[in-house]
Amino acid sequence: MSRRDIKYIVLFATILLLLGLSLVSCQRPETSTQTAQIDESKREEGKDILYWTCGMHPSVRVMPEEYKKGQTKCPICNMDLVSVSKGEEAPGEEGQVVLKLSPRAQKLASIATSEVTYRPLLKEIRTVGKIDYDERKWAYVASRVPGRIDKLFVDFTGVTVKQGEPLVWFYSPALVSTQEEYLLALETLVKVKGSHLQEVIENAESLVKSTEKRLLLWGITENQVKELQEKKEAETHMTIYAPMSGTVIHKTALEGKYVKEGENIYHIADLSYVWMFADIYEEDISWIKLGQEVKITSIAYPGDVFTGTISFVNPYLDEKTRSVKIRVDVPNPDEKLKPGMYVDAFIKAPISDRRGIYYTCPMHPEVISAKPGECPECGMYLKKIEGDLVLAVPKSAILDVGTRKLVYIDQSAGRYEAREVKLGPEAELLLQEKSEPFFPVLEGLAEGDKVVARANFLIDSQSQLTGEAAGVYGGAIEVGE
């Protein structure tokens, strides 16, 4: 036999072998499927089957009578359906889910729980503000009579003045004539003092009072009026004094300038108090209250913290920025804060359900207890603190399913119940180095409940794969017997 004949024989034998293997593999799925159906039917004997479902699509439900008619495959992924017996059914619309996990499953899932208790929660709002003058702490210095400025005692802006210090030396013809009228009225009163006619005396006294009042209204001080009475000679010039202490922020007064009655010549502002205006966005408006404390920092003074108080909240919303303007009164004794400066503002709004006492560890502030005792972390004795408290649950325990919010409650012995809760706005439990998000509880939980704070997503997914369906899904954790 030649080598060529041997090659043909080997090739023919290889082809026959491949054909045989392919025929065998084609028969295996059918055999496997038949075996699985036989095993499934044996396993379901004696069970009260409610329906059949898919391990990958729990929303698929096939009634037993439909399953017997041949609907044994998932219409979505074509997987074999698995049964759900009585006691293994999934929750209804009311959200009553109780899932039982074996100890091994709990260990694999690394489940951690947190106790629902009263905690001191704060909402921190950060915004940017702008420093401005306190309108209650500024004043205009105006000329009360027409005249000419002959001398300036304060000749440039930025000068700090005290109340009662001289500002300008001023000449006014109207003021001179009024002084002379006042002196004449005084002389007349002296002459008629001995008169037997009471009406004449009263008229002379009335003239003295009216001219003296006019001088006072024009800015002449009572001391200057007394000097005028003693000297009995009209002054050609008058001095205008600072009505308050502060800084001259605007000046129009010039030597030799004629001014009209009512013309402003100085603008003085007291910078020991300033205002800060800031925008609060729409989602944070509910946290803002009059009298709240505001912390202020500036890049101009790193490390310095200024404290102010909210004194006004605008009653309307800015439609363009969707925010509300607030005004904060800020003490500024060193005058570090300058009008026009931009600053950072921090508002910590406490959430209060009740005023109470709680205990915390100085070294581990995340440890909070309603009773005195030792810290479970370091053994230190817990410190007593009084403050605003609210029933709170950690954010990590909340499952947001759109229209509802769920938590899983540890009922001990590996049983976990899903419960719908109603929550307030998200807040923070402020610790020494970090803050932890919490929600105030409005409905659904009571003090002392233990909620799953870690692995709750895994528990929720497992609750959707009840009964035999959980065993089909390879990524599911084990369910207790």
- Domain limits, the chain: 3-85, 97-117+357-472, 124-133+272-351, 135-269
d(CA 453, CA 448): 14
pLDDT (0 to 100) of residue 17: 62
| Pairing, β 138-142 against β 264-269 | antiparallel
CA angle 354, 347, 336 (to 5 degrees): 140
Among residues 464, 417, 416, 459, the alpha carbon closest in space to that of 53 is found at 464
Amino acid (one-letter) located at 407: V
41 Cβ neighbours under 8 A, 6+ residues apart: none
Token readout for 135 is: 């309108």
**Residue 38 Cα to chain centre, angstroms:** 62
Q: Under 8 Å CB-to-CB from 180, ≥6 apart: which residues? A: 234
Q: Which amino acid is at 186?
A: L
Q: Is the dihedral of CA 411, 416, 421, 425 positive or negative?
A: positive
What does the pLDDT read at residue 194? 73
Q: For every residue of the chain, which 3-state class applies, written as one string?
A: CCHHHHHHHHHHHHHHHHHHHHHHHHHHHHHHHHHHHHHHHHHCCCCCEEEEECCCCCCCEECHHHHHCCCCECCCCCCECEEEECCCCCCCCCCCEEEECCHHHHHHHCCEEEECEEECEEEEEEEEEEEEECHHHEEEEECCCCEEEEEECCCCCCCEECCCCEEEEEECHHHHHHHHHHHHHHHHHHHHHHCCCHHHHHHHHHHHHHHHHHHHHCCCCHHHHHHHHHHCCCCCEEEEECCCCEEEEEECCCCCCEECCCCEEEEEECCCEEEEEEEEEHHHHHHCCCCCEEEEECCCCCCCCEEEEEEEECCCCECCCCEEEEEEEEECCCCCCCCCCEEEEEEEEEECCEEEEEEECCCCCCCEECCCCECCCCCCECEEEEEEEEEEEEHHHCEECCCCEEEEEECCCCEEEEEECEECCCEEEECCCCEEEEEEEEECCCCCCEEEEECHHHHHHHHCCCCHHHHHCCCCCCCCC
Assign a CATH topology to domain 97-117+357-472: 2.40.420
Residues 6+ apart with CB under 8 A from 219: 144, 145, 238, 240
Phi-psi region of 468 (alpha: psi -120 to 50; beta: other; left: phi over 0): alpha
Is the Cα dihedral 441, 445, 449, 455 positive or negative? negative
- Return per-residue pLDDT of the chain as tens, 481 residues: 566 666 666 566 666 666 655 554 444 444 444 444 444 444 455 457 777 777 667 667 888 888 888 888 888 888 888 777 655 544 444 445 577 777 777 777 788 888 888 888 888 899 999 999 999 988 899 888 899 999 999 988 989 999 989 999 989 888 888 888 888 888 888 888 777 778 888 888 888 889 888 888 887 888 888 888 888 888 888 888 898 999 999 999 999 999 998 899 999 999 999 999 999 999 899 889 999 999 999 999 999 999 999 999 999 999 999 999 999 999 998 999 999 999 999 998 888 766 777 788 877 766 777 778 888 888 888 888 777 788 889 999 998 877 888 898 988 888 888 888 999 888 887 655 567 889 999 999 988 899 998 877 777 776 665 544 444 444 445 554 4
Looking up tokens 């790193």 gives 302
CA distances from 417 to 87, 389, 451 (A): 14, 27, 9
- Topology classification of domain 124-133+272-351: Elongation Factor Tu (Ef-tu); domain 3 (2.40.30)
CA-atom Rg of the chain in angstroms: 44
Instruction: Compute the CA torsion angle 116, 122, 126, 129 (nearest 10 deg).
Output: 160
- Measuring CA to CA, which residue among 295, 280, 298, 431 is closest to residue 364? 431
Report whether 328 contacts 278 (CB < 8 A). yes
- What residues contact residue 93 under an 8 Å CB cut-off, 6+ apart? none
- What pLDDT, on a 0 to 100 scale, did the predictor assign at position 462? 66
Fold of 135-269: OB fold (Dihydrolipoamide Acetyltransferase, E2P) (2.40.50)
Kindly give, in sequence order, each residue whose CB lies less than 8 Å from that of residue 387, ignoring residues fewer than 6 positions away: 120, 350, 355, 356, 358
Domains 97-117+357-472 and 124-133+272-351 share a fold: no
